[in-house]
Amino acid sequence: MIKYAFTKYDPATMARAANRDVGISFKKSVMIAQKLRGMMSDKALAYLGRVQAQKEAVPFTRFRNGAGHKPGAMAAGKYPVKAAAEFAALLEQAVANAENKGLGTPLRIVHIVANEAARPLRAGRKRSQATKRTHLELVLVETDESKKREKRPKKAKKKEKEAPQEASAPKQAPQKAQKEASEEKNEASEKKETVPTPVEKTDVKKEIPKKKEAPEQPVKPVPKTAEKPAAKPTEPQAASPKKKEVTKDGN
């Protein structure tokens, strides 16, 4: 029987999983556990998938010997593919245990730890080297978010959809009657609109017959009068010498 190092929460609201003597690096496991602690189960599985595809690195705050800079919010990081696969399998096992208990998903990772296990010597040519062994523990706890995201089974949804359809069947008749009544009202309103109101009659302007005008009488041409020639300017005549009056006396 596995003894967990975590007994804080009620067993009825949490799901656990553990694996002993896993053949992965203890140092890499510590860094992965540090990254996953506090994450939701669905986000943690997605993150481990990206690590296995070498699309996102695990930040190394310890054991940074030989770890170069990687893209993202980190100084040094690595792509521990084998260790990420073991953590993903452990997380899937804990999620399955939660579903068997009837807990809502996704769950929060409240406890994840990697402990160094016994390291026996290898066999064969590498018999002078010690093997890599690690113990893994994982605990998931139900939260308010998991209760909200809990999905109902598909069978229940189908029953809920079928029930309102049956209830709506007898209501189709009154709906048709309402539609017919509304159509009749619309037709009556259209007829009333076509009838001219007395106000419309007063607006119509009657054409007033025009009076017959008397035919215009031809105007007789006025005979033109002979124009008198303009008088020529008279030249000034020289003053004639006055004749002396001859008197009877001869003077």
End-to-end CA distance of the chain: 197
pTM for the whole thing?
Answer: 0.57
> What does the pLDDT read at residue 116?
93
Say if 241 falls within a structural domain. Answer: no
Structure tokens at 189: 């309103």
How far is it, in rounded angstroms, from Cα 80 to Cα 221? 126
Bridge partners, 116 (sequence order): 134
- What CATH number is attached to the domain comprising 117? 3.90.470.10
Domain count, the chain: 1
Say if 42 falls within a structural domain. Answer: yes
> What does the pLDDT read at residue 213?
63
Say if 90 falls within a structural domain. Answer: yes
Say if 247 falls within a structural domain. Answer: no
Say if 160 falls within a structural domain. Answer: no
How far is it, in rounded angstroms, from Cα 27 to Cα 178? 75
Instruction: At 136, give phi and psi (nearest 5°).
Output: -120, 140
How far is it, in rounded angstroms, from Cα 43 to Cα 10? 24
- Assign 3-class secondary structure to the chain: CCCCCCCCCCHHHEEEEEEEEECCCHHHHHHHHHHHCCCEHHHHHHHHHHHHCCCCCEECCCCCCCCCCCCCCCCCEECCHHHHHHHHHHHHHHHHHHHHHCCCCCCEEEEEEEEECCCCECCHHHCCCECCCEEEEEEEECCHHHHHHCCCCHHHHHHHHHHHHHHHCCCHHHHHHHHHHHHHHHHHHHHHHHCCCHHHHHHCCCCCCCCCCCCCCCCCCCCCCCCCCCCCCCCCCCCCCCCCCCCCCCC
Pair 144, 72: CB distance under 8 Å: no
| Per-position pLDDT tens, the chain of length 251 | 788 888 777 888 899 999 999 999 999 999 999 999 999 999 999 999 999 999 999 999 999 888 889 998 889 999 999 999 999 999 999 999 999 999 887 899 999 999 999 999 988 998 889 999 999 999 999 887 655 555 545 555 555 555 555 555 554 556 667 777 778 777 777 665 555 555 444 444 555 666 666 666 666 666 665 555 555 655 555 555 555 555 555 54
> What does the pLDDT read at residue 185?
76
Pair 29, 136: CB distance under 8 Å: yes
The neighbour count for residue 203, using CB atoms within 10 Å, is 9
> What does the pLDDT read at residue 204?
46
Say if 51 falls within a structural domain. Answer: yes
Full domain range(s) for residue 126: 11-149
The neighbour count for residue 150, using CB atoms within 10 Å, is 13
Instruction: At 61, give phi and psi (nearest 5°).
Output: -90, -15
Say if 107 falls within a structural domain. Answer: yes
> What does the pLDDT read at residue 187?
75
Site of tokens 């978010």: 145
Say if 2 falls within a structural domain. Answer: no
